A and B are shown apart, each in its own frame.
Chain A
């Protein structure tokens, strides 16, 4: 591998470098998320035809499924960052892990709410204690537990280390959520999109779904970077580079 890749990652581990990098990337990631999200919604709500069984109610899939993917993807990203933070004690990795949790919790909440709103007309019930729904609810509680543990310590780094352990322990729930529809046959349908083999979906419905998936990924980057920047201002408040930002521009800092 080229030498500049680890070198660049090493430099990015420095809080002021990451702060500037995050500030530069955030507006682009957010803009891309808005653009792709708008295209995906147009494709999903206007272009794609109604489902032959579910009519127009199936259109909830275009936000429900990407949100559910994000609830697991963000947990994976958070677990990697927590592991790196615990092993190598890289401060930025700890902050990235801790600030991922609220975004993951937001997507998990969206998944549960939209799933409930989809379940009522299709299954005839808002909620059922089936494997997929229950494990997703547990995922929300794990996210909230991580956020709570992080904020319950006076010392932020101590809190981050304790919560990072919880992240790694809670990771056992991720495969349970993912495979629950295969292991237990209940109300929730199986996977529609499959990485291996053909997907059970029409192309006109597939492309808005995949576009929304990319949009939510971009959104995660934008939201995470905004959170990391806010976190660094507080946790690095004693450092000269943060003082310069605080005193340099009075209030309205671009980006």
Chain B
């Protein structure tokens, strides 16, 4: 190790001297960056993590008007159009909210023509194919990786389009939630080609189906999908060698949750070592409250033989490739076993597995786990226990109802805990990204390279660059590798890395054009044209008016700190009330108010998007 060498010390002294000299000459010297460890701050801060320990009410922070606070959590970002539509729904916020919920909880009733047309314009090839078609067209393609993976690439683009443009915003929010809950890494070599069929399970609006349908129905549909089967290896779990991956995550991630996991212990309720109580299931019967590892093994056995046709050599010539099938010859049921103290008889075939799902669907622990996650998404990182328990109750009481999840979602959003809280959540990077597109009126139809008629091999397209920025921020759709899904707490998303790269991405969105390979291509979000249109009178194009316009569009209101910073940035050495020339973009170092004004407008919009007020929801 070296001590400070004479040479470097001398260099340091020179830098110091130069800095002093520069200061003396009136040249601005950037301040030394603040050390991460320094005397004026505490070394440990768990406030974000501990919001859970406060009631939602007490931890509510001053923010936007109620309607915006609500809509920001039930949509991918409340726009001025959303607000106008909301305000037309009734005479009071409460009445409007009730009406808005009723509408949004019935997505099929909402006309979504514009979004559908935009999707159609992208000429996606795989979105509406059956599993069998996906299998033969894409899964069978072992030569061209981009083509093989086109289905997941298309779902990714379509998802961004829908989140941005669909009028069925609550539906999209819930599709996002359930994708996180039943998380599949989209780019799995075998699961990727089948991904549209997986995504379609959440989007199914038929009675009892999808994100507003019945939980058990969705749970089983997910289990039987090729993408999940590949994700968690169930397709190859056979009598001759069970694979416990799916069964473990079924318990830990899909149903009971780690909150109801007792570990590697003897589950005998009478042994007294780890007494695990029995609780009452939705049908009034008795069931063990928590699962142990033996339950995982027994569920594994019960689900052997559940597979995907033609996914392995044992089922290599079965009909309906890519579809779920149960193969009795691959199922093990020679002995009796139990699950959560329930009896599974020998020789019960597929019934053994179906029983597992039945019992889980009526388990109060599952209701609590799902309710906790829903409240965490929509209310706060650690939602009040009273709310979780009332939502869990709705979930459990309706375990057989075809609209169980619709009723459960409604229970969260109609609650006073939801309505009276704000500021307990942050926008995850993907939500901030879509929110920015929405607030800035972007015109963006992302398409994979293979669907892009203008694609030149080797070029880095706008779509690719945007997805890369999203991936850098840690939140590209369907890109979380583990089966637990993207986290949903501020502790996870408020790291320096995530926040820093979220800010970077938001600036990038403002600078992105329709075709980054064509000079002069229009911006995705033409904020200049929108500003000119919104403020048609030249004399009114003042920094104050421009900053106000974009605070309204992005935040729905004008928080002082953000508004003032935006005004000062926009005006530079002009007055806040001086008209600015928004149509020039030239160098003028002598008059910063005239220096690259069009560019400065985009930067000002990026600045507002980079505020804590935008990133909070």
Query: Do A and B form a real pair?
Result: no
B residues near A, CB below 8 A? none
